Structure 1
Amino acid sequence: MSEAAPVRVPQTGPVRRCRRDWLTDGAAWLFATGWTALVAWLWWSDWVPATSMPSTLMIVDVATGVVASAAVWLRRRWPVTLAVALVPTGMFSMATAAAAMVALFTVAVRRRPAVTLLIGGAYAATALPYFGYQLNPLQPQAPYWWDVLWACVVTALVVGWGLFARARVQLLQSLHDRAVRAESEQHLRAERARQLERERIAREMHDVLAHRISLVSMHAGGLEYRRDASPEEITRAAGIIRRSAHEALADLRGIVGVLRTAPTGDLRPQPTLAELPALVEQSRLAGVRVRWNGRLDGAESVPEQLGRDAYRIVQEGLTNARKHAAGATVDLSVTGAAGGELVIEVTNPAPVGGGGAPEIPGTGTGLVGLAERAELAGGRLEHGPAPGGGYRLRAWLPWPA
């Protein structure tokens, strides 16, 4: 017998039952009705001596059992009321025992343990007067103390079962709430990582755009105040202005859609693909064995924004390899050509975490930020288990002609 979460909610209208509730309540009604039918059959069979019970009392017993069985359908709306109403019937009716146990179980699941123990004690106490003047139809020859003992044992079992079901439902609800909260927090962390990545890209572009615009302003000011400038000087200044404006526009295209915040922290020039050999050497000094030929055809034509994105991706890949597979050999590949894509691949052939060194803790949002960076650049990023074992990080970034 299963129940909903043990939460006390005031009912102001009809109880809405789902399919599972209908099946559960139907099974409880069949159980109570079947017990009533069994008691009626025992009263009017040869199992019980004919002179032991007046016929009027037997009819009242069975009729009360029928009414109590029908009242089982009200247990969800008025669990305590139903259970308390069935307490007096235990002093004169054996047919209501099943309905009373169903009501007691419902109280144990939906109400505080103190209420359950109080009603359960009242049910057990009704066995004292009942078996004092009536026979047990199941065991007519059993002694008085035996019947009372069995009534107390059955009541205790129902109370224990109900309290266990209540604790189990509360545990499942707690685990569900914890899982929902953890998922919500993970979404917030991922969104925060994307936001931080956008802000970091904007900060990286701060010094670059400032340099471009300052060149344009300086040479435009020279043309304004140097009225005696020669045609060659004017041509040269105009070329610098045009080139700086085009480069500034190209840089701006790389950060369209980035949410810009006030620049904070260090605004020194950010590393590009030209600093990749120094990054590899630094990783080797930190204990990461990196295999890379150190060559990329056309590296000098890689735009600065693309170089920064590639540098950050390689940096994160080597950092993750050092965190999760310390001492393993990492394969680094950077290939591509202008007019196509720059492909970056960082592969660790050893099993993740199998390097023997303790794993370095992290926030788990670095790859989320990289994916956001690659998407803003018009590319894509994939990471996961490598076909031959280990872990692989791959990125494709557009390389304009």
Structure 2
Amino acid sequence: MTRTDRQHRLLPSHLVEPGGSGAPRPRRTARDWVVDTTLFLLAAFVGLLAADASAQYTSATVTLLDQLAGAAACSALWLRRRWPVGLAVALSLANAVAPVAAGALLASLFSVAVRRPFREIAWIGALAVATSVVQVFVRPDPTTNAGLSIALGFILVLLVTAWGMLVRARRQLFEALRERARRAESEAELRAAQAQRLAREAIAREMHDVLAHRLTLLSVHAGALEFRPDAPPEQIARAAGVIRDSAHEALQDLREIIGVLRAPGENGDGARPQPTLATLDALVDESREAGADVVLDSTVDDPAAVPAATGRTVYRIAQEALTNARKHAPGTTVTVTVRGRPGEGLTVDIRNPAPAGPVPPVPGSGQGLIGLTERAALAGGRMEHGPAPDGGFALHAWLPWPS
């Protein structure tokens, strides 16, 4: 398929400029038939008026020739979609000697103005005006002043071409709006795909927030077993149980994330519900069972009423803070404070003092807090963190809670 063929397939019939080399002839629609028939009838009506006016001062032979010329000119209008320029030129020349062709000429000029560029419209309109002037002297009307006839012909040509150009501009505007709508739809699809990709990247970054908590428990208790092989059997059993449970939970979390990252339609069954503010108590209990000293102070009466996305963000913030406290300040008391109500937002404060003694270095990239700061900003809130004046660590976050 050539470029010309593609253009004729994509453009509606009223915007196709026929007459090109090898260009297919557009099929007339019901609207095209109505327009063509209307123009034919109008041209025939104008031709009859002109023939009746000229019959009063011409011979019967000339009148018959005028009628034949008018019928041919009106019939030629059915070719205006295929050869608009050639038809307009031919009718302009016929109009110089046959006033009955004036109606068909105006219809052809309208078609040229609708379908062709301004340069062609200008010289064809000038030709039509010139032949109208010639007609005034070749076929003068005794009842009308010559100057008035010339002015009337010029005004009619100008009005018809201006009307056609207005229709052309209107159609081009509609086509541009359609193209803009199609482009906007394509851009919306691209933005949706980009948003999906960014969401998946955010979920991939969240793997750190989800798995770091579990893996830290594994590291701490495995290190305790390594450095305290002479610990009482009860402590060893407890540490082994924590390691087993943390490994199981880490696998469950990893399976959940992989399920979310699957393409649409590939999600498997058995996906666990996402954590919310209502599950914050369970996170604190889990940290206490692992040996951490955590104090939870929450004044939210109904945690289930908090929006799921906001509650999930609070959960991840608390999870990261507890993980960092366990790694960098073991044995200290971590205080988690949650305040808020609908319309005022939700405030989270997490603090822990400095550790009493030296702490073995634990590897960490610091990406967890950075990711949570970005996450809070995307949720419409903010998060700040850093060393406290007493040497400990403090984290403060505020998230919106619509009323």
Which position in structure 2 is the counterpart of 1:32?
43
**Partner SS for 1:53:** coil
Task: Select 1:100's aligned residue among 82, 105, 108.
Answer: 105
Q: 1:108 deviation in Å?
A: 1.0
What is the aligned-residue identity percentage?
A: 44
**Partner SS for 2:99:** coil
**Partner SS for 2:343:** strand
**Partner SS for 1:120:** helix
Counterpart contact for 2:96–2:138, Cα < 8 Å: no
Task: Select 2:312's aligned residue among 308, 321, 336.
Answer: 308
Which position in structure 1 is the counterpart of 2:146?
144
Q: 1:132 deviation in Å?
A: 1.2
Which position in structure 1 is the counterpart of 2:191?
189
Summarize the Cα distance change of 1:307–1:201 in structure 2 as closer, same or farther, 3 Å threshold.
farther
Task: Select 1:237's aligned residue among 227, 236, 239.
Answer: 239
**Partner SS for 1:196:** helix
Aligned length: 283
Q: Distance in 2 between matches of 1:168 and 1:311?
A: 57
Structure 1 stretches of 5 or more lacking a match?
261-270, 277-292, 313-328, 335-365, 371-391, 395-401
Q: 1:298 deviation in Å?
A: 6.7
Task: Select 2:343's aligned residue among 324, 331, 334.
Answer: 331
**Partner SS for 1:95:** helix
Q: Distance in 1 between matches of 2:44 and 2:402?
A: 66
Q: Which structure is richer in relative contact order (CA contacts within 8 A, separation 6 or more)?
A: 1
Q: 1:124 deviation in Å?
A: 0.8
**Partner SS for 1:198:** helix
Question: TM-score if structure 1 supplies the norm length?
Answer: 0.59
Counterpart contact for 1:272–1:311, Cα < 8 Å: yes
Q: Distance in 1 between matches of 2:37 and 2:28?
A: 11
Question: TM-score if structure 2 supplies the norm length?
Answer: 0.59
Summarize the Cα distance change of 1:305–1:161 in structure 2 as closer, same or farther, 3 Å threshold.
closer
Q: 1:122 deviation in Å?
A: 0.6
For the pair shown, which has the larger CA radius of gyration, 1 or 2?
2
Which position in structure 2 is the counterpart of 1:384?
none
Q: Per-residue CA shift, 1:323-357, capped at 9, x if unaligned?
A: xxxxxx972689xxxxxxxxxxxxxxxxxxxxxxx
Question: Could you tell which deviates more after superposition, 26-35 or 193-202?
Answer: 193-202
Structure 2 stretches of 5 or more lacking a match?
1-11, 263-274, 281-297, 317-340, 347-374, 380-400
Counterpart contact for 1:101–1:155, Cα < 8 Å: yes
Q: Distance in 1 between matches of 2:72 and 2:309?
A: 81
**Larger proportion of helix:** 2
Q: Distance in 1 between matches of 2:299 and 2:73?
A: 86
Q: 1:205 deviation in Å?
A: 2.4
Q: Distance in 2 between matches of 1:243 and 1:142?
A: 108
Q: Per-residue CA shift, 1:7-46, capped at 9, x if unaligned?
A: 53536333212221121111111112222333344445xx
Q: Distance in 2 between matches of 1:220 and 1:305?
A: 34
Which position in structure 2 is the counterpart of 1:18?
29
